[in-house]
Every structure is written in structure tokens, then in C-alpha cells.
Amino acid sequence: MGYPMARNLRSKIPSSDTLYIHDVNPTICEKFAAEFKGVEIAPDVRELAENAQTILTVLPEPRHIENVFADMLRPPTLRTDAPNTQERLFIDCSTIDIKTSREVANATHSTKQGYFVDAPMSGGVVGAAAGQLTFMIGAEQEIVPRVREVLSMMGKRVVHLGPQTSGLKGKLANNYLLALNNIATAEAMNMGVTWGLDAKALADMINTATGKCWPSEVNNPVPGVVENSPASQGYEGGFGTALMLKDLKLAMQAATSAGIIPELGMHAKDIYTAVEGQEELKGKDFSVVYRYLGGKNTDKLQGLGQQ
């Protein structure tokens, strides 16, 4: 998702501004720098932070965030003699646990090296490419306009949910629901196809009725129902099952710490764990749960092949 996000950002910031990029995969950085003007590759995150006024991070897991911010915030403090670095803004768009986000925010603020905002996003790879992401932010009110200005270059909606960690809390609740909706959609579509219904006709009906949800409309798990969806591309791309399982566990952990028992989440976690345990399904988009539940293709639909 980072590549299309950076592309949208570069296209909308002033041409006089420099976009510094860094990734563990140098080939991706080289490709991006060759494609766009006004881009410089930072050899490490510390140098990126030294030169930038606004730093965006998008990383898979809490430990990655901890390591990156440890490098960026290590003594001595970041210099402020470079242009426009007097009030750095750190915007973390990762989906991580609340405790880690709070600790990183405290480290950023206590060392007076800038403002930290949690801003997880929703919309997937398709939303990132189209600049249609939704960002959920946790920040103090006074910096919200500045955060919104930056994130609006990559998304259609920026929702301020409250102080720091509020964005993550909203995202975890959202992804908990998404994880469940995906399984329910896969089961419902499997029912219809098994009963002999046309998969596209069934999906069209659901998407004009009360069962409509993102997995049914945008990321339908039956191959061929939604053109260019992961299911129609052999379940490649999209949002991996491992990441969905990670987010589900984070949501359940946060719920449990608040005295909430996530009843449906317990069973959903077992299903996603089982999907990741099957070699032919591992690493696929999380809609591949349809295949795990026994979902088959029809004569008109193409995907991974008949079971």
C-alpha cells in the first residue's frame, strides 16, 4: 500500500517540496525515485527524519514501529536547523497495539522531537491506489487541521476520533467487524453457489439488501464476481490472511483488557489460523477463507481451480 500512497502524496504536494522515502526493499525505492521527480532516497530512517517536517510510517507489526522510532529518536535529538523542521509531525498509519502506540507517542513527546499521531487506515490496496482511503486519527485538537491536510492527499476521509490512541481503537473495532463479515460473506456465498444460484446474481441481490458489506460488495470472495478483486486474481494481492489474523488478535486483546469477551472473535481466530496453516492458502488475500470453507467455483467463474 505504501507505493500508491507515496505516489498520490508526490502528485499533490508542491513541486518545490522534496519527498524523502525509505524502505527495507531498496529496489522499490529506486523504482519510485525513477518514476517521479522531487524524490530522494534516504539510506536510513534517521536521515529521513532529520530532513523531513512530516514523517509518515506504515509498518506491519508493533516491533517494527518500536525499532524505527528507536532509530529516529535516538540521542542526540533530531536537528532543527534544516528548513521546515522546527515542528516535526510523526503520523503512524500502521495498525498496531494500543500500548506500543502510546509508548512511542510518549517517547516522541517527552524528548520534544515532534508531535505523534496514530492514523491507521481502511480501504485496502484498491483504496490506496485510488486515493480513497479512510484515516482514523488520534490526536490533540490543535494539530488536527495539519494532519488532515496531509492525509487528505491520500484519502477521501479523515476522521478524528479523539486523543492519541483513539484512531487505533476505532481501527481495531472496524477490523474486528471486517474479519467477521468476511467469514459470514464467504459462508453465505458458498450456500448460494452450492444451492445452484448464480454467484454474481446473488452478490448483486445482497448488495441491494440488508446483507451488504465491504466483503460482499468490494472484496467478494467468489472468483469472478468482482473484476480485479483478489479472488478474481487467484487471491493474490489484497490484505493477507496473516495481517487479518494479527489485527483480529490485537482487537481481541484490547477488548479483553477492557473487560469485554469477544465471543465471535474466538471462533474467527481459529478459522484464520487454520487458513494460514494450509500451504495452498497461506499468504493469500483473507477472502480465501471462502476456499477453506469449501467454496467452489462455478462453470462461469475462474479462480484457483475446482476443488
Mean pLDDT of 256-269: 96
Domain map (residue ranges) of the chain:
2-162, 170-292
Q: What's the pLDDT score for residue 307?
A: 39
| Residue 171 designated active-site | yes
pLDDT 10s digits, 129-138 = 899 999 999 9
What torsion do the CA atoms of 287, 281, 31, 61 make, to the nearest 10 degrees?
80
CATH of domain 170-292: 1.10.1040.10
- Give 306's pLDDT tier (boundaries 50, 70, 90): very low
Mean pLDDT of 198-207: 98
- Judged against a pLDDT cut of 90, whether residue 127 lies above it is answered with no
- Judged against a pLDDT cut of 60, whether residue 239 lies above it is answered with yes
Q: What's the pLDDT score for residue 302?
A: 41
Catalytic residue among 171, 200, 269, 300: 171
- Judged against a pLDDT cut of 70, whether residue 75 lies above it is answered with yes
- Judged against a pLDDT cut of 50, whether residue 304 lies above it is answered with no
Q: What is the rounded average pLDDT for all residues in the chain?
A: 93
- Give 41's pLDDT tier (boundaries 50, 70, 90): very high
| CATH homologous superfamily of 2-162 | NAD(P)-binding Rossmann-like Domain (3.40.50.720)
Q: What's the pLDDT score for residue 123?
A: 86
